[in-house]
Structure 1
Amino acid sequence: MKGKQYAVIGLGRFGSSLASELVSLGFEVLGIDKDEESVDQMSEKLTHAVVADATDEEVVRSLGLRNFDCAIVAIGDDIQASILAAILLKELGVKMVVAKALSELHGKVLEKIGVDRVIFPERDMGVRVANQLASPNLLDYIELSHDYTIAELAVPKRLSGSTLEDLNPRARFGCSVVAINKKGGVIIAPTASDRVEERDIMVVIGTNEQVESFEHEVNR
């Protein structure tokens, strides 16, 4: 993963946060925005930051974006600019194009033009926060697709000392515990004999219904 180059187009709240996090993970990041003030604010945080119009084909070509591993269109409130930028990136042959969608319709258009991954930050965060509020032991919730979910569940006192064989999530609910985060470290691909203690965090994957059923068992 290290050594990858990312381009982030649009340095508003979402784009600047995303770009900064990618830099902190050790990647090279080029930030692009039409607004000079936004670029100035990020110039020292990113590998490179330039004032440019990502809807101008000549400008996009001159930036060499074709050579980047991934380009993220994070344009905040201009749907037309977002779509035009995504089209240019796809036509240039960028390996992976990710785009932020402002609405379901915007997302459908982005999918139609071949964007590799469409993200809905506000919607997805709303779903995650709602699920966290609804379940005291649910620490995080990510919808992998319309059907599959990965969730982090805190182990309550009632289940402390249980083995995964005791809980038997695969046979009883159809979902799998793929990791257990303990104070001393993380157990990846735990076995049936591994025990969970209070405040351990189980990372569970399965269909939405399977994970929800197991979550109810943990919370009862």
Structure 2
Amino acid sequence: MKQKPVRKEFAVIGLGRFGGNLCKELVSQGVDVLALDKSLERVQEFSSLVSHAAELDAIDEESLKTVGISNFNCVIISLGEGIQSSILATLILKEMGIEQVWVKAQDEYHEKVLRKIGADKIIHPERDMAIRIANHIVSDKVTDYIELSDKYSIVEIIASKKIAGKTLSELDIRAKYNCSVIAIKRSSNNILISPPADTKIIVTDVLIAIGSNNNLEHFENEGV
């Protein structure tokens, strides 16, 4: 008998611009969301959208326990009122045993402190968006870019006439450039996940590749 997949539940603390948009996106993907903010006005704004919403102070441990925060797989902290609140909230949540605590950082110093106290993922919305836009502007081949770490990324690269008509096996991208094509966008409604080696590239394809930044740049410049 197959086990039912575990339903992921997320809590978002801080319903400002980033936290609010994150809630909307998660809900649109069918995810259960607990939305928390110390502003009653913001809580009321999202109460009809998310599964649950509550007004509370993120650094009040008893209040967090009351709303059942420990039942959530992942908690995203998006607080804008200085760095102290997000640091204290992170400490409290990690001490409560939350599996994944993601935190929006305001700057590099904030990030260093968050990493030291156990934050599982640091989010820089403005910086990450700036990087994606810069890569899109500079390159006429790269249509999107996701930074996985300081050294590794996922990029979407437009297939050129140079590789059109060739199979992935013939291109041998992994051996030549040490990066991997994990999917191919053939159209908005047709995405090939883990395409087989005999997949033939057509000129309108967008290759989704993963690898080190140096290897991806080499592939972009020489391989497509």
Q: Distance in 2 between matches of 1:178 and 1:103?
A: 32
Equivalenced residue count is: 219
9-18 vs 150-159, greater mean Cα deviation: 150-159
Q: Distance in 2 between matches of 1:69 and 1:159?
A: 43
2:71 is aligned, of 67, 76, 79, to: 67
1:16 is aligned, of 20, 24, 29, to: 20
Q: Distance in 1 between matches of 2:132 and 2:219?
A: 17
Q: Distance in 1 between matches of 2:180 and 2:60?
A: 47
Residues 169-195 of structure 1 deviation map (CA, whole Å, 9 limit, x = unaligned): 222211111211213722222233211
Q: Is residue 189 from structure 1 mapped to residue 194 from structure 2 by the alignment?
A: yes
Question: Where does 1:81-120 land on structure 2 (aligned, <5 Å)?
Answer: 81-120=85-124
Question: Where does 1:67-216 land on structure 2 (aligned, <5 Å)?
Answer: 67-183=71-187, 185-216=190-221
66-75 vs 185-194, greater mean Cα deviation: 185-194
104-113 vs 74-83, greater mean Cα deviation: 74-83
Q: Distance in 2 between matches of 1:49 and 1:28?
A: 11
Residues 96-142 of structure 1 deviation map (CA, whole Å, 9 limit, x = unaligned): 11111111110111111111111111111111111111111211111
| TM-score, with length taken from structure 1 | 0.93
Unpaired stretches in structure 1, ≥5 consecutive residues: none
| TM-score, with length taken from structure 2 | 0.91
Identity %: 46
Unpaired stretches in structure 2, ≥5 consecutive residues: none
List, as ranges, runs of 4+ consecutive aligned residues in structure 1 with deviation greater than 4 Å: none
How many angstroms does 1:158 deviate by?
4.1
Q: Distance in 2 between matches of 1:170 and 1:98?
A: 32
1:37 corresponds in structure 2 to: 41
